[in-house]
Amino acid sequence: MHVPRFWREIPNRYTLVGTRCGHCNKVFFPPRAICPRCRRVGQLEPFRLSGRGRIHSFTTVYSGPRDFKDQLPYVLAIVELEEGPRVMAQVTDCNGEEVKIGDEVEMVFRRIKEEGEEGIIHYGFKARLVRKAGAGGS
Footprint of other proteins (CB under 8 A):
9, 30, 56-66, 68, 71, 74, 76-78, 85-90, 96, 101, 112-113, 122, 124, 126
110 binds, among other proteins, Zn ion, none (CB under 5 to 8 A by kind): none
CB 134, min distance to other proteins, A? 27
Of 98 and 138, nearer to other proteins (C-beta) is 98
Of 7 and 134, nearer to other proteins (C-beta) is 7
Of 35 and 77, nearer to Zn ion (C-beta) is 35
The values of phi and psi at residue 107, to 5°, are -85, 130
64 binds, among other proteins, Zn ion, none (CB under 5 to 8 A by kind): other proteins
- Contacting positions for Zn ion (CB under 5 A): 21, 23-24, 35, 37-38, 42
3-state secondary structure the chain: CCHHHHHCCHHHHHHCEEEEECCCCCEECCCCCCCCCCHHHCCEEEEECCCEEEEEEEEEECCCCHHHHHHCCEEEEEEEECCCCEEEEEEECCCHHHCCCCCEEEEEEEEEEECCCCCCEEEEEEEEECCCCCCCCC
38 binds, among other proteins, Zn ion, none (CB under 5 to 8 A by kind): Zn ion
